[in-house]
Amino acid sequence: MKDKLKILVVGSGGREFAVARALKKSPHVAEVFCAPGNSGMAAIGVKATGIAEDDFKALKDFAIKEDIAWTFVGPEDALVAGIVDYFHAFDLKIFGPNARAAQLEGSKDYALQFMEKYQVPHPRYETFQSAETAISALPDFGLPVVLKEDGLAGGKGVVIAEDQETAESTLTEMFAKGQKQVVLEEFLTGPEYSVFAVMQGGNYRLLPLAQDHKRAYDGDKGPNTGGMGSYSPVPQLSQAEYQEIVDQLVEPTAKGLLAGGYDYHGVLYLGLMMTKQGPKMIEYNVRLGDPETEVVLPRLKSDFAELVAACVNDEEMPAVEEKDEAVLGVILAAEGYPKKPLKGQKLGQLPAEDGIFVDCANVTGPATDLVGSGGRILMVRAEAADLKEAQEHVYAYLAKLDIPQTFYRRDIGYRATGKRF
């Protein structure tokens, strides 16, 4: 691997903050740029370019001008819109699946058809093109029932309807706002896990396992969000169960990508549930998850930049080595998130503390006087000998902050530690 590379990361959130931080640690990397980036990135020496993630021409021009070795794409929107195909047309190296492969996230129906074709266990489902036909099928699924908007929805297009009235009104609303298709799925029970694989055709390397907390409020209550916190490792999952996930979900997915002739050089997220009948795939994402990235990448002992470079250059990918330390992170979100988040929270300069790391997401202003700009503002995470210690450290730090019009869950990691704060 050529030393002192210049890397471009596309995106602006906490995930891209964590990716840029991990790449910058590599001795092979000279500079990391982020497009558009956020104002908190200056604190870790990453240069925000301000170029919009959907301005493919400007991104391409920047990559050529700055002699970028390869571009790492964070957000799904750009991948589904074909940024990889666009860069390839100019012989530029880029980490991410092409538009065809990105349909695994771009369409829930497409993903479920892929699972069916390549025998990846999944929930029973049916896809509908009108509210009337979907509503008429509700008795076949029973309650609760899972309702999914077919296209991209920023982690918020899934509703678990507990009663008939909610199911009917949600379906009506989904189609009324322009959805062409909605998927009905059987409701499964069991713990959910996040598996990330760096895919290179049919080859892959697995990153450390993580668990995310999707619901907005303590006790897994409230609406689904993009994620309110996460942790790694996941000690409650046995080695036998983990192997079952690899054998039944990861392997057939990788074989399917190869058999289907997909151009996949990027991260594939496998969101799964461990049911009584075994692991079942809930969804694919064609990129790193947020907030899992912020706890997964710090657990790498191996060089993340080396892994990405090998994948992009079609070289043999190095083995992934994990640290023994645990990482746990909690999202500080704007009041009103996910439906109507407030903006303008004065964060100032957050206090430095050993063992605590802050990954900025929706922030503006200078690094010394940050202001929240809606949604998930930042993540506070800790690295420690075990999850209990990391959890205690994060919540002790959050307790010292006094930032109006924000909130956070007080039970991130409780499934592993048994503790709430």
List the domain boundaries for the chain: 5-98, 124-186, 189-312, 326-417
CATH number for the domain whose boundaries are 5-98: 3.40.50.20
Measured CA distances, 135 to 73, 100, 151, 156 (Å): 38, 31, 19, 21
**Whether pLDDT at 418 is above 90:** yes
Burial 153-171 (b: 16+ CB within 10 A, else e): eebebbbbbeeeebbeebb
Query: Residue 19 is encoded by which pair of tokens?
Result: 């990716």
pLDDT in tens, 107-117: 999 999 999 99
Residue 227 pairs with which residues in a beta bridge? none
Give residue 152's pLDDT: 84
pTM of the entire structure? 0.94
* CA-closest candidate to residue 346, choices 406, 409, 410, 407: 406
**Whether pLDDT at 155 is above 80:** no
**Whether pLDDT at 43 is above 80:** yes
Banded model confidence at residue 151, pLDDT cuts 50, 70, 90:
confident
Spell out the residues 6+ positions from residue 391 whose beta carbon is closer than 8 angstroms to its own. 231, 328, 382, 412, 413, 417, 419, 421
**What is the C-alpha separation between 321 and 164, in angstroms, rounded?**
48
Mean pLDDT of 27-47: 96
Angle, CA of 192, 186 and 188, to the nearest 5°: 30
User: Which residue type does 377 have?
Assistant: I
Superfamily of chain region 124-186: ATP-grasp fold, A domain (3.30.1490.20)
* Domain 5-98 shares a fold with domain 326-417: no
**Whether pLDDT at 241 is above 80:** yes
Cα atoms found within 13 Å of the Cα of residue 100, Cβ hemisphere only: 8
**Whether pLDDT at 2 is above 90:** no
**Please, where are the H alpha helices in 3-107?**
14-24, 56-65, 76-80, 83-89, 99-106
Instruction: Classify domain 189-312 at the CATH topology level.
Output: D-amino Acid Aminotransferase; Chain A, domain 1 (3.30.470)
pLDDT in tens, 341-367: 999 999 988 889 999 999 999 999 988
Give residue 4's pLDDT: 87
pLDDT in tens, 162-220: 999 999 999 999 999 989 999 999 999 999 999 999 999 889 999 999 999 999 999 99
CATH number for the domain whose boundaries are 326-417: 3.90.600.10
Is residue 68 left, alpha or beta, with left meaning phi > 0 and alpha meaning psi from -120 to 50?
beta
Measured CA distances, 334 to 35, 69, 223, 294, 373 (Å): 23, 36, 14, 19, 8
Query: Residue 224 is encoded by which pair of tokens?
Result: 């689904």
**What does 215-259 look like in DSSP terms, one character per residue?**
EEEGGGEEEE-S-SEEEE--TTS-HHHHHHHIIIIIHHHHHHHHH
* Radius of gyration for the alpha carbons in the chain, expressed in angstroms and rounded: 21
Find the helix packing angle between 14-24 and 304-312, rounded to 10°: 100
